[in-house]
Amino acid sequence: MSQLEIRPLRRLDAEFSVPGDKSISHRGIMLGGLAAGTTRLRGFLPGEDCLSTLHALQALGCRVDRVAPHEVVIEGRGGKLLAPAEPLDCGNSGTTMRLLSGVVAGQPFTTRLFGDASLSRRPMGRIAEPLRQFGAEIHCESQGDRPPLTIRGTKLKAIDFSSKVASAQVKSCVLLAALQAEGKSTFREPVLSRDHTERLLPAFGASFRKDPPTLILHGPQRLEGTELDVPGDFSSAAFWLVLAAGLPGSRLTLRHVGLNPTRTALISALLRMGAGIVEKVEDPTPEPMGTIVVQGGNRLKATTVSGSEIPNLIDEIPILAVAAALAEGVTEIKDATELRHKESDRLAVITRNLRLFGVPVEERPDGLAIEGGRTLVGAEVESDGDHRMAMSAAILGLLAKGKTLVKDTACIETSYPGFARQIGLLQEVGR
Ligand code: S3P
């Protein structure tokens, strides 16, 4: 089993960029596959999750060429996909399974989707419910609403749907189905979740009305292939932002990072904690992209994150918990029950891992209370097969005294190929 051995980092003075955005890479492939003509994605993330989506679209009859390590060209099928010969393997990727369900629900064939052990535990009722209202038949094979899924696609009829969860995966699943459905579909969410699908649809020639958090789309619509530059993934940048903020005397510049405001609430939280961070948007459309500069060493103080801020830093809570461990006082994370339904039960795994590093943590049903400011001590920790937990533990190790061993780190490949190499580079100059 792969593992990462981490020694403390004393100094960080670096400038680099992170791999492409996972959410945008998934969407680019799916929308490109549905569109007529050619789509080119530059800056595509070749992580395992996005490769699951890429292989699924190939199985649905689309020609996808990886013309360079970070560039793919998709020949779309103008809305008419082919029945896959085999069930579609979504691997570890909830985004693949949930968004693809919206795609195949509108196709005149039956598709079976399955995933690994972690994905097989994740709830799918949230997408099965709207897709059934559209008219598709969805069978969740395990425990009522867990994968594998069998989806019998059909000619869809528009729906009016209010989601109980603020989830971009649910929203995108509904939008992908609505593109193929006859009539006016309306979607509402309790709080605005990441809006990549809304930003990308016009680039593919689709139109809809947006009055956040309500969306209205008249279907069916024909998409046209396009060219997209995928920015670096803010969620990957987040690990380095916290590391730099926590290391005295450090300076970090990250270039070509996605700065979509529905993703960057971690920056607001870190600024409230006193971190020295400046972001600058250099290219605003279709996805804001720019530079982040961190000046490390400010004394961090505790904060509270809750309510409408949660969906906009949902993937960053594991690394925010690391910042909380450094900050004076008790940081509270509230309204975050969704974290129990990610690649692992993140509230439980964050609690266990932080305690191993000597940080007092109270685990609550919907969040955490983290008492920061003590010296971190290196530890031996498990990732529970969750990429963000593995990377957060590695950052803790860089900030702790003594040696840290993070076990079961192969999962990092799902979202951040090259993470371990980047740590190696920083350690070479920062010992
Ligand atoms: C994603 C949405 C979020 C996020 C996930 C990627 C997306 O999930 O946690 O990593 O690309 O739409 P939810 O929409 O379920 O919160």
Separation of alpha carbons 278 and 45, rounded Å: 25
Q: Above pLDDT 90, what percent of the chain?
A: 97
Q: Show which residues are catalytic.
A: 315
Q: Which of 127, 169, 191 to mutate to test the pocket of ligand 1 (most atoms within 8 A of CB)?
A: 169
Q: Domains in the chain and their CATH numbers? A: 3-20+231-429 (3.65.10.10), 22-229 (3.65.10.10)
Q: Which residues contact 339 (CB under 8 A, 6 or more apart)?
A: 314, 317, 345, 346, 347
Q: Mind listing the pLDDT tens digit for each residue in 144-165? A: 899 999 999 999 999 999 999 9
Vertex 375: Cα angle to 372 and 376 (nearest 5): 85
User: Euclidean distance between the first and final Cα of the chain, in Å?
Assistant: 27
> Rounded to the nearest 10 degrees, what angle do helices 22-34 and 168-178 cross at?
10
Q: Mind listing the pLDDT tens digit for each residue in 386-409? A: 999 999 999 999 999 999 999 999
- Please compute the mean of the pLDDT values over residues 176-201 and round it to a whole number: 98
Q: Which two tokens stand for residue 47?
A: 């992580």
Closest ligand 1 atom number to CA of residue 172: 12
Q: Which of 26, 53, 99, 167 to mutate to test the pocket of ligand 1 (most atoms within 8 A of CB)?
A: 167
Q: Is 315 in the pocket of ligand 1 (CB under 6 A)?
A: yes
Confidence at residue 430, expressed as pLDDT on a 0 to 100 scale? 62
Q: Is 169 in the pocket of ligand 1 (CB under 6 A)?
A: yes
Closest ligand 1 atom number to CA of residue 167: 14
Confidence at residue 27, expressed as pLDDT on a 0 to 100 scale? 98
